[in-house]
Amino acid sequence: MPVEIDFPAPETAPGAVADWLAWATAALDAHSDSPRADAERLLARLLACDYGALILRRDEALESALVLRYVAWVERRKLGEPVAYITARQGFWTLDLVVDSAVLIPRPDTETLVEWALEIARGALKNEASFALADLGTGSGAIALALASELRNVSIVATDYSPAALDIARENAQALPGVNVEFIEGSWFEPLAGRSFDLIVSNPPYIAEGDPHLPALRYEPHSALTSGPDGLAALRAITADAVAHLQPGGRLLLEHGADQAGAVQVLLQNAGFIDIATRRDLGGNARVTGGRRP
């Protein structure tokens, strides 16, 4: 006969979900602009549930081991580490992406770029059988994968000079069945010699070196944030080389800082682009500027 073994139940911590959320919110109050939301995101990730489920589980007891991890995560957040890096996940578009300190944390502002790119691609596909798209400086793969998830018949290539970033991007791609993106190591257009596209998109670094906001972003890769004394070095490099990699009538879309739209418009004009326009993000800030190759 099989021997029955009574395993001890996991030790539970005092209090319940609601109590630990209240504790974490109070602990983060002086260290975060969104203490309650941070407390919820951290605990939801540990419990492998969404935020709404926390309400339904408010009276549930927690295992001591999980509480110890939660306390450690809250301490990391108090030191300023972003929630996305603590949990190793970040939502973007309809995706749940893996992130770490090798890549920039995808932000909602960048969805403005995705929306515009989708509009262009879908419009072109009404009249064309194929469409080729490139994402420069892909990082976590957020932009390329968001577009690939919506445009299953489009050829998409994404570049990044960082092998560590491309490892993250490929990991995110593998978690999305049916999504196909070609990831290539190299800076901007360097690995795309001889190739041309109908649309090129990029969210390059655009913060000026010495910007007073940089200390608050100290956990994110410096090279993905800053670009020369005025923040425009990467944008200059991309606009200067883009025409050679665009089909006639092809478009270039660039994310930039809220105060850089005018400068980017001039860069595009000087590079020979026409139909230059800027779109605003959900916060009302000028966020993405694009132009068309004649």
pLDDT at 8: 46
Q: Which of 180, 185, 174 is nearest to 132 (CA)?
A: 180
CA distance from start to end of the chain: 82
Helix (H, G, I), strand (E, B) or coil at 219: coil
pLDDT in tens, 51-67: 888 889 999 999 999 99
Which residue segment(s) compose the domain that 216 sits in? 100-292
Residue 141 is assigned to a structural domain of this protein:
yes
Pair (76, 221) in one structural domain: no
Helix (H) or strand (E) holding 270: helix 261-270
> Residue 58: which CATH number?
1.10.8.10
3-class SS of residue 280: strand
Sequence-distant (6+) residues with CB within 8 A of 75 are none
How many domains is the chain partitioned into structurally?
A: 2
pTM of the predicted model as reported, rounded to 2 decimal places: 0.92
CA trace torsion 50, 55, 58, 62 (10° rounding) = 0
280-292: average pLDDT: 97
The pLDDT score that the predictor gives to residue 1 is 45
pLDDT at site 129:
83
- Rg of the chain, C-alpha, whole Å: 22
Do 23 and 110 belong together in one domain?
A: no
Q: What angle do CA 88, 93, 98 make, to 5 degrees?
A: 20
Residue 14: per-residue pLDDT:
87
Backbone angles phi, psi at 20, to 5 degrees: -70, -30
Which DSSP symbol is given to 74? H
Determine what percent of the chain falls in helix, strand and coil, rounding each to the nearest 5.
Answer: 40, 20, 35
**Is 151 in the same domain as 222?**
yes
- The pLDDT of residue 152: 81
Q: Which tokens belong to 61?
A: 């007891």
For residue 3, being part of any structural domain is answered with: no
Percent of the chain residues past pLDDT 90, beyond the cut: 89
pLDDT band at 10 (very low <50, low <70, confident <90, very high): low
Is residue 160 domain-shared with residue 250, that is, in the same domain?
Answer: yes
Does the pLDDT at position 30 exceed 70? yes
Q: Residue 6: inside a domain, yes or no? A: no
Mean pLDDT of 211-237: 94
Least confidently predicted of 4-8, 122-126, 271-275: 4-8
* Residue range 85-95: mean pLDDT, rounded: 97
Whose CA is closest to 98, among 10, 195, 172, 196? 172
Judge whether residue 5 has pLDDT over 70.
Answer: no
64 plus 122 within the same structural domain: no
The answer for residues whose C-beta is within 8 angstroms of residue 216's C-beta and 6 or more apart is 80
- Statement to judge: residues 250 and 151 lie in one domain: yes
pLDDT score of 128? 85
pLDDT at 197 over 90: yes
Same domain, 116 and 240: yes
> What's the pLDDT at 4?
58
**Taking Cα atoms as reference points, which of 91, 93, 77, 80 lies closest to residue 42?**
77
pLDDT at 167 exceeding the cut of 60: yes
Other Cβ atoms less than 10 A from the Cβ of 71: the count is 15
Mean of pLDDT values over 127-149:
96
Task: Give the model's pLDDT for residue 35.
Answer: 97
Instruction: Please check whether residue 190 lies inside any domain of the structure.
Output: yes
d(CA 239, CA 244): 10
What CATH number has the domain bearing residue 264?
Answer: 3.40.50.150
Supply the pLDDT for residue 7. Answer: 38
pLDDT of residue 252 exceeding 60, the answer is yes
Predicted confidence at residue 127, as pLDDT, reads 86
